[in-house]
Chain A
Amino acid sequence: MKKTLALIFAAALAASGAGPEMPRFRWENFSTANGLPDDHVFNVAVDGNRVWAATENGLGLYENGKWKIYRPEDGLVHRAVLYVAPDKRTGDVWIATMGGLSRLSGGRFDNYTQLNSGLPNDVVYGVAVEGENVWVATAAGGGRLNTRTRQWALFNERNTPMYEIWTYGVSATPSKVYYAVWGGGVLEYDVKTERWKDYNDPDGETEMVLYKDQGLIHEITTSVSYAEKDRILWVATYFGASRYDGRNWKNFMDKDSGLPSNFLNQVKALDGNRAWFSTDKGLAYCDGENWAVYRPALDTHKPEMLVRDAAGKVSSVETETAPAHNYVLGMDFQGDDIWVATAKGLSHGIRLK
């Protein structure tokens, strides 16, 4: 009897085309039509029940079902917001913009620019909080503000192994801080030893990948995420993704993984095996073996969810909703839910059980 039931179940699975069980979502999308400051959303950050949207024309706060918008007239240093980092310890929110760094604290904006403070440059691509330090990635190198002493330390080609100072993303954990240096690989700062180390593409700056798993996949990095517990480093580049366990590199490209594109804007690790990727062809997820892609289909623009199993077999999962756009720039998590920043709106992926 049991054997018969198992056969029936297997047949049903095959008929539905179901592959491995991957997260499924119902997507709710926000645009200027329903309160978002701007449809170009560069990033999103979740802090409890508050969702912060970094957009090209202001900072959006989604709370209790309503949007509140902050712009320069409200005190924000610049309208083009590139990244947001809530400090869960203090409740403050750090905001990276095209015209400086803002802190929103208890409703008050404090603005840091290259003229009025030690900020290295006004074009701030990324910001991260590590204890009492706030790290910034700017167009002229990295910087660290000690919020206790208010002292800035700047990091550039003169005091780190950074040969290119266009820092594009920064990620901080209690033990490590990583910079994604656009055209300069990855820079690692050890919080305990205060030492720097760089990771570069053994192929140099060539766009060809000659030695696939022998190092970082490419020098043009956009985002780094460190799974601290598992000590695994994930890197997003414009030419694929990399995973580093401290000894070996494993690289992922669209031709040999479930990545929908090699053009990656962001990576966020859940742990050493699982990570989410923002690409120009959709949102992607890898559980260590299998991949899933969420997007409006590239041709029909209809909602699409694709699953690629460990053997490389791709199947489609029926879905009625999709993220607002396939050009994905960032994401963050709210429990089992996910929020996704796209080129045409912000999307809330509500996890289906």
Chain B
Amino acid sequence: MEIRPPGVDMSVDAVRTCACRVRTAAHTFSILLAFTCLSATLPTPRYPSPIELALSPDGARLYVVCQGTDELVAFDLRTRAILRRIPVGREPKSVALSRDARRIYVANSWSDTVSEIDAASLEVVRKLPAGMEPTSAIPDREGRYLYVANRIGGDISVVDLASGVETKRLDAAPGASYLALSPDGSRVYGTHLYPNPGQFRAPPESEITVIDAARQVVAERYRLHNVAGVFHVALSADGRLGMAAQLRPKNLVPLAHVEHGWVFGNSISLFGEDVGEVVQIPIDELDRYFTPPFDIAIAPDKSAAYVSTSGSDSVTVIDLRRLLEFVRSKSPEEKRAMANDLSASANYVAARIPVGSAPKGLALAPDGKRLYVANRTGDTVSIVDTAARRVSGTLSLGAPAALTPERRGERLFYSARFGFQGHFGCANCHLEATQDNLSWDLEPDGFGKDIVDNRLLEWVDGTEPFKWNGGNPNLETECGPRTETFFYRSQSYDQEQLADLVRFLKSIPLRPNRFRAANGELTPAQERGQAIFERTRKKDGTPIPQFNQCPVCHSGPHYTNKELVDVGSGKPTDRSPLVDVPQLTNIALSAPYLHDGSAHTLEEIWTVFNPRDTHGVTNDLQKDELNDLIEYLKTL
């Protein structure tokens, strides 16, 4: 186990990423890349970035997952002292306790493992297997199986806790991320960061995946209409009410105006016996937004639910008795329309409690009197007195005193305070500083004009120009005047803030590539695909014009020559057929594809949208050869 002191980043991640690039990228760029690596190895402050919390059943201990320092911090709540910092895997994202509280499970999203920790010794006792990017791990009631939601895999691993072996992997949905066990242990509920694949320019659809814990099979899926970006899910103690925090993006209409919820609806999906069919309720108000809703804690007596809204630096308190009364008074038709009725929240939102910066995970004391809130970019845990509905104390995680420009920029990135009426921030579309798997109608140029797919926001430094039409030469332009004018519709960042934001954006690293072997070697299929990617002649020996050879446009460390090209994917609704050559790094993660997201899969780029070989020469390939090409692309 690698142990690093808190607050200092030896940049192992950066070195590994760069080393991988050196192995994979075109050789001509290796020297340039080495310099980049060298500069990245300088120590930089590391901020704890608490993201998730768990309480011991007696309420005496608080476990805090620190994503930024790769550790689980155990607090003694009687003394408010840190008992221990437990090093775990890379980018930990969740914490859950066994029913007897003797074991703690932490999902390590970049290590693809789950750390099993002995609660008595506070030592990691086992490293359990998981799928691609485990984001949540919860044990079943009997402690026989561990369920792990894998974000990249879009699936849920079932791990036998006796043997430590993953027995099966259940298909969930894209971006599988958060899990909750029903109080009786019979069901596991899973939510997903990204929408299910659907028709081009159709409203997004998401789901809550319901697993039968007795048989470890998917029993049903609750459909969430017009929803993308579902975060935590929680169940009431009596098991009759489920609540999932979610975004309702309005990505099909131009961002002509941002008031009245026309960009995002911040809402909760209710399900279970208390409400019958799934009902979506807004938590926004007519002229104020609370976004994005992330975690939910339900009071043991079901009197209240607490929802962290990380861009609004607050916790929303919902009066559940009033909410259930309100929902039950509505007709089925009224229930379906409720999610867009911003006046509805006045009937059940009891309070908004200001907390720290970017509140994420919540934990409620067993008696319901104290709520703990992980402030991700504040590097603290707020203690909320639930009766007084105010912060009564703060736990410090020992962050570096000074904020770097990158950290200041990160706070800006996650904040929604710059959007008109606090409607949304960068992280609403770039979920957790990545992507949302949606295409948007951003410009106020008419309905359905210039649709753009949301690209991956990782390792973007050096991929300028920005926007699909290459209209913005640098990130300062991309995030400054453009954002202020077309997105936020209010005065946004000053020059210093903009500089900080850009520094943060440039610091977002590339996630480990899950499709390439750890030693960098390619499988036979990937090797065959590489040969196709690099070929200069068609199978019949005819030379392929240079402009139509893959590595000519997709060149350099990011696999983009940063030029505008016409690959024949333009639509009549596009103002120009020219598109910015996109980077290909971690391309497997960012479906849909093409500039407007019209290709659902990598395959469709060529099977559907390349009939005249204008986007590389692919029509002479057999099906298995195209498969090989795609297997290679996934490794980039």
Contact = CB atoms under 8 A, between A and B. Distances in A.
Contacts of A154: 623-624, 627
Contacts of A32: none
A196 interface: no
B207 interface: yes
A90 B171 contact: yes
Interface in A253-312: none
Interface in A18-39: none
18 contacts: A89-B168, A90-B170, A90-B171, A91-B217, A91-B219, A108-B207, A108-B221, A110-B171, A114-B607, A115-B603, A115-B604, A115-B607, A116-B600, A116-B603, A116-B604, A152-B627, A154-B623, A154-B627
A103 interface: yes
Interface in B576-607: 600-601, 603-604, 607
Ordered nearest first, which 6 A-B pairs have the shortest CB separation?
A: A91-B217, A106-B218, A154-B624, A115-B607, A118-B627, A106-B221
Interface in A137-177: 140, 147-149, 151-154, 156, 158-159
Given A117-B603, A153-B525, A156-B624, A106 B209 contact: yes
Interface string A110-126: 10001111101100000
B627 A106 contact: no
Contacts of B624: 120, 154, 156, 158-159
B277 to A, nearest CB: 14
Interface in B203-243: 207, 209-210, 212, 215, 217-221
A328 B41 CA distance: 70
Contacts of A105: 171, 218, 221
A132 interface: yes
Contacts of A120: 623-624
B560 to A, nearest CB: 25
Interface string B135-176: 000000000000000000101000000000000111100000
Interface of B: 131, 153, 155, 168-171, 196-197, 207, 209-210, 212, 215, 217-221, 515, 525, 600-601, 603-604, 607-608, 622-624, 627, 630-631
Contact of A92 (B153, B171, B604): B171
A140 B623 contact: yes
Contacts of B153: 148
Nearest to B604: A116
A335 interface: no
Nearest to A131: B168
Interface of A: 89-92, 103, 105-108, 110, 114-118, 120-121, 132, 140, 147-149, 151-154, 156, 158-159
Contact of A91 (B218, B525, B601, B622): B218
Contacts of B221: 105-108
Contacts of B525: 151, 153
A159 B170 CA distance: 31
Nearest to B631: A151
A70 to B, nearest CB: 15
Contacts of B196: 108
Nearest to A156: B624
A147 B218 CA distance: 15
Contacts of A121: 623
**Most interface-central of A90, A106, A116, A156 (chain B CB within 10 A):** A106
A159 B153 CA distance: 29
Given A105-B221, A120-B624, 8 more contacts: A92-B171, A92-B217, A115-B603, A115-B604, A120-B623, A148-B131, A153-B525, A159-B624
A229 B593 CA distance: 47
A106 B624 CA distance: 30
A125 B600 CA distance: 25
A87 to B, nearest CB: 9
A194 to B, nearest CB: 12
B220 A116 contact: no
A91 B215 contact: yes
A140 B622 CA distance: 11
Contacts of B218: 90-92, 105-106
B169 A147 contact: yes
Nearest to A103: B171
A116 B607 contact: yes
Nearest to B600: A116
Contacts of A156: 624
A140 B623 CA distance: 10
Nearest to A111: B197
Contacts of B170: 90
Given A108-B207, A108-B221, A132-B169, A115 B608 contact: yes
Nearest to B526: A151
Nearest to A138: B623
Contacts of A89: 168
A152 B217 CA distance: 23
Contacts of A108: 196, 207, 221
B319 to A, nearest CB: 33
A103 B131 CA distance: 20
Contacts of B600: 116
A148 B207 CA distance: 20
B169 A148 contact: yes
Contacts of A103: 171
A18 B501 CA distance: 89
A107 B525 CA distance: 33
A106 B219 contact: yes
Contacts of A149: 515
Nearest to B170: A90
Contacts of A114: 607, 623
A166 to B, nearest CB: 15
Contact of B630 (A90, A115, A118): A118
Contacts of B515: 149
Contacts of B207: 108
Given A106-B218, A110-B171, A154-B627, A117 B210 contact: no
A231 to B, nearest CB: 27
Contacts of A140: 623
A117 B624 CA distance: 11
Contact of A117 (B155, B601, B608): B601
Contacts of A116: 600-601, 603-604, 607
B608 to A, nearest CB: 6
B389 to A, nearest CB: 39
A159 B215 CA distance: 38
Contacts of A159: 624
Nearest to B207: A108
A121 B624 CA distance: 11
A283 B168 CA distance: 37
A132 B427 CA distance: 36
Contacts of A147: 169, 171
A159 B525 CA distance: 12
Given A118-B630, A152-B627, A106 B215 contact: no
Nearest to B634: A151
Contacts of B603: 115-118
A88 to B, nearest CB: 9
A107 B622 CA distance: 34
**Most interface-central of B212, B217, B219 (chain A CB within 10 A):** B217
**Most interface-central of B131, B171, B196, B215 (chain A CB within 10 A):** B171
B436 to A, nearest CB: 21
B220 A106 contact: yes
A186 to B, nearest CB: 22
A106 B188 CA distance: 13
Contact of B217 (A90, A132, A153, A158): A90
